[in-house]
C-alpha cells in the first residue's frame, strides 16, 4: 500500500479531525490537543516512520478512540 506523506502538523490535524468526527465522544474531546508526531526508525516501529509518545491532554474517556485513530493514521501516512 502506498502511504500518503504529511508534515507533523498535517498528520496531527488529520488525527484531530477524525477524532472530532466520532459522534460517540460528544463534547468530551472538544478542548483536547495531541502532541506532534516525531520521526522514528521504520524497522523498529512496524513500518511507520513516526509515532506519538503519549496523549497527556486527552481525557481517559477519549483515549481509546484517539489511539485507534492514531493507529489507523500510522497505516496510512508517513512523516514527510
pLDDT digit of tens for each residue in the chain (80 aa)? 789 999 999 999 999 999 988 867 777 777 789 999 999 999 999 999 999 999 999 989 889 999 999 999 999 999 99
Domain of 16 in residue numbering reads as 4-79
CA angle 45, 75, 32 (to 5 degrees): 90
Task: Find the farthest-apart pair of alpha carbons in the chain and give their distance in angstroms, rounded.
Answer: 38
Q: What is the pLDDT of residue 76?
A: 97
Q: What is the number of domains present in the chain?
A: 1
Q: Which of 80, 47, 62 is nearest to 15 (CA)?
A: 62
Torsion of CA 45, 75, 1, 17, to 10 degrees: -150
Q: What is the pLDDT of residue 29?
A: 77
Q: What is the pLDDT of residue 27?
A: 78
Q: What is the pLDDT of residue 8?
A: 98
Q: Which of 34, 31, 36 is nearest to 63 (CA)?
A: 34
Amino acid at each position: 500500500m502506498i502511504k500518503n506523506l504529511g508534515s507533523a502538523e498535517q498528520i496531527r490535524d488529520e488525527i484531530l479531525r477524525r477524532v472530532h468526527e466520532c459522534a460517540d465522544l460528544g463534547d468530551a474531546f472538544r478542548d483536547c490537543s495531541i502532541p506532534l508526531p516525531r520521526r522514528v526508525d521504520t524497522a523498529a516501529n512496524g513500518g511507520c516512520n513516526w509515532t506519538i509518545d503519549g496523549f497527556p491532554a486527552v481525557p481517559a474517556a477519549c483515549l481509546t478512540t484517539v489511539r485507534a485513530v492514531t493507529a489507523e493514521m500510522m497505516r496510512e501516512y508517513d512523516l514527510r
